[in-house]
Amino acid sequence: MLKREKQGSLDTQALNELVCEDAIILDKQRFGRVRTSMMKHLRSEYGDEIANRVLSRINKRASNGSNEMKESLNKSQLKFDFK
């Protein structure tokens, strides 16, 4: 039973990290950076450790030259069709 609870906790933590990661990437796409207000929100919602870990992971991926990460950060979130 303890193993099942630990597994559930790990699943929850992984899900929280993915939610944080999505929010940070969307903020970077939309504003070109992560706003302080967004990080305050994520830290209050998911805790300092998770929010800071996710932010540093994303920054490290971008600085290490991950082409996929750079492309996703350079994509505009809003697309308009003015035809």
| Residue 43: burial class (beta carbons within 10 Å; 0-12, 13-18, 19+) | middle
* Distance separating alpha carbons of residues 5 and 60, to the nearest angstrom: 32
| Residue 8 CA: distances (Å) to CA of 3, 45, 77 | 9, 19, 33
Domain residue spans in the chain?
A: 8-64
pTM: 0.72
Query: Over the stretch 3-41, which tens digit does the pLDDT of each residue have?
Result: 555 566 778 899 999 999 999 999 999 999 999 999 999
Q: Where are the alpha helices (DSSP H) in 1-83?
A: 2-31, 36-46, 48-63, 67-74
DSSP letter at 34? -
pLDDT at 82: 47
